[in-house]
Amino acid sequence: MDSISYKTVYANKQNIKKEWYVVDASEKTLGRLASQIASALIGKNKTDYTPHADNGDCVIVLNAGKVKLSGTKLQDKEYITYSGFPGGQKRINASDLVNKKPIALIEEAVKGMLPKNRLGKEMFRHLFVYDSNQHPHEAQQPKELKTK
């Protein structure tokens, strides 16, 4: 009987190759877009996905202020922050947040879908969100990320 040994190959810093992707967020639904961006940041779209390694890609999001929310979420959805001090709770609804800081909608949605640990913070650093149609990452030659 032949002894065939199979070895599972895990991704590590030496064999990870990061790709760059660009996404146009105009007229896309926030949650669906955020889940596809988070999947690319985590690396689940790759065949060598490893849960304990950051083998995800870098994602550039354009036109962040033109993302749409379904139903009445633009008026009803609230983002709550708390400083830890008495009276330090602040609430802002989605329409005010789009007017004040349009990139925050996509950043908050994607951040909530990433792991809540050091690895998730490192993955979040590979997300670049812009409100305009221009970005300063042309040298990386980003490809179009297929979104539904």
CATH code where residue 93 lies: 3.90.1180.10
- Report pLDDT for 1: 57
Tell me whether residue 82 is in a domain. Answer: yes
Per-residue pLDDT reduced to its tens digit, 42-55: 999 998 899 999 99
Q: What is the mean pLDDT of each run of 10 residues along the chain (148 residues)?
A: 76 90 96 97 92 94 95 95 97 96 96 96 97 96 90
Q: Which of these, 35, 23, 10, lies nearest to 59 by C-alpha position? A: 23
With b for 16 or more beta-carbon neighbours within 10 A and e for fewer, the 66-95 pattern comes to: ebebeeeebeebeeeeeeeeeeeeeebebe
Tell me whether residue 61 is in a domain. Answer: yes
Instruction: Tell me how far apart the alpha carbons of residues 9 and 49 are, in angstroms, rounded to a whole number.
Output: 10
Tell me whether residue 11 is in a domain. Answer: no
Instruction: Tell me how far apart the alpha carbons of residues 104 and 114 are, in angstroms, rounded to a whole number.
Output: 15
- Look at the chain and report how many structural domains it folds into: 1
Tell me whether residue 7 is in a domain. Answer: no
What residue type is 95 in one-letter code? S
Q: Which of these, 21, 102, 99, lies nearest to 63 by C-alpha position? A: 102
Task: Provide the residue range defining the domain that includes 106.
Answer: 20-144
Instruction: Tell me how far apart the alpha carbons of residues 49 and 55 are, in angstroms, rounded to a whole number.
Output: 7
